[in-house]
Amino acid sequence: MEGQEARTAGQFTNEEWLEGLRGPGRDEAIANLRRILMRGLRYGLADRPEVDEAAREDFVQEAVLKILASLDSFRGESRFTTWAQKTAVRVALTELRRLRWRDVSLDDVTRFPDADFIPRSLADASAGPEQKTVQNALLEILRRLVSDELTDKQRQAVTAVYFHGMPIEEVARRMGTNRNGLYKLLHDARQRIKKAMIAQGLSEKSILDAFDS
């Protein structure tokens, strides 16, 4: 990339990046990209002490391959470095989640039969008697809905994600679907529960009042 000594790589235009990565000066452009992504991950993953420079290099390597393979899909609606860094972050966090949860099976996080993870009453010291009555009624409804209204798959997903906090792509992988598919599954489950809660005759307001923080 010509004139690059005069500016830092962070100041290249989108066109310069694309030309650089596609043209004869490719190796230099890739080196610049790598440097920027490494720096980005150093900051972006700074709160994860388990991530070392070698791990970052692996993430960046994978990200660079993905970026080069999808250059044609960059629409120029954002800065190239933003678009590229997005992929690096996605690659890194996906792998870190996979590692963190690799010893946890779906069975481990869906072991509770039916809706037992929902308590019969909240240990809510701040709730007055009326609020408590509504809370307990709602919890009973929620237990029944999760138990009866949701499909097995929806219930598995709800339990694993909302109760156990398992990342959705980890749950997705174990259920043989992808992240987007699992999000839709959860969305359907939430919609069913919401509709059923409203159909019980409870107003949104009363539900929110009972469950305000």
Partner 1 sequence: MKALDPGKLKRMVRDMLATSADEIGCDECFEQLDRFVDLELAGKRAAEALPLVQDHLNRCHNCREEFEALLTALRAEP
Contacts of 189 (CB under 8 A, 6+ apart): 150, 154, 155, 157, 158
Identity of the residue, 20 or 135, whose beta carbon is nearer to partner 1 in the bound complex: 135
Decide: is 204 part of the binding site for partner 1 (CB under 8 A).
yes
* Alpha carbons 116 and 110: distance in angstroms, whole number: 10
Tell me which of 81, 110, 154, 177 binds partner 1, using CB under 8 A: 81
* Closer to partner 1 by Cβ: residue 52 or 212: 212
41 binds partner 1 (CB under 8 A): yes
Rounded to 10 degrees, the C-alpha dihedral 37/38/41/42 comes to -150
Cβ proximity to partner 1, 8 vs 23, nearer residue:
8
How far is CA 161 from each of CA 153, 155, 209, rounded to the nearest angstrom? 12, 10, 25
Site for partner 1 in 20-39 (CB under 8 A): 36, 39
Residue 72 phi/psi, 5-degree rounding, is -65, -20
Among 13, 61, 70, 82, indicate the residue that binds partner 1 (CB under 8 A): 82
From 18, 71, 104, 122, residue interacting with partner 1 (rule: CB under 8 A): 122
Q: In the 8-state DSSP scheme, what is residue 24?
A: T
If binding is defined by CB under 8 A, does position 163 make contact with partner 1? yes
